[in-house]
Amino acid sequence: MVKTSLRRIVRNKSIIFGSLLILTATGIMAILWTPKSAGRLLKNTTSITFTEQGWNKPDKSFTVTDQAEVQRILDTIHLRSKDPCLCDHLYEAVFKKTRGEVRVSFCDHCFDVLVSQTGVSSEEATHYKMPKEFYTEFLRLARSQTNEEWHP
């Protein structure tokens, strides 16, 4: 009964099936981002700023603003959940949208979406496997945009 009702709610509200729903006594409180809804979260992205955080050297960064290029990058993002690991992420991508931004911390095998909690100074991360196409495209752009070597 509950499973069928949730499916009906999901279909009727045009919510992507597979999203994690938080239910309360008064109904649905929030819909959390899942791999199937990545497109919705990054919809209306106007620019993407990539940064390599240097250890004992200055940070490197570049920004992609061309809308065709931004869309091409977004099209490479296909996410699958993974368990968190303890690796250091050299890179950050900030997806600027018409309203707000989405921050991603990443390395060659992780794509962690950082979510700021309202009224709290800390962040929670949702962990995904690095989409290989995205990482390859990021490295290509980084090298061509900055004429510098970026760590693979």
Task: List, for residues 45-102, the tens digit of each pLDDT value.
Answer: 999 999 998 777 778 999 999 999 999 999 999 989 999 888 888 899 999 998 889 9
Domains of the chain: 2-32 (no CATH), 35-146 (3.30.1490.410)
Bridge partners, 106 (sequence order): 91, 111
pTM of the complete model: 0.71
H or E element at residue 11: helix 2-12
H or E element at residue 138: helix 132-146
Instruction: Using alpha carbons, list the distances in angstroms from residue 37 to 57, 58, 138.
Output: 37, 35, 22
- Where does residue 119 fall: left (phi above 0), alpha (psi -120 to 50 degrees), or beta otherwise? left
Count CB-CB contacts under 10 A for residue 134: 20
Task: List, for residues 105-145, the tens digit of each pLDDT value.
Answer: 999 999 999 865 554 445 678 899 999 999 999 999 999 99
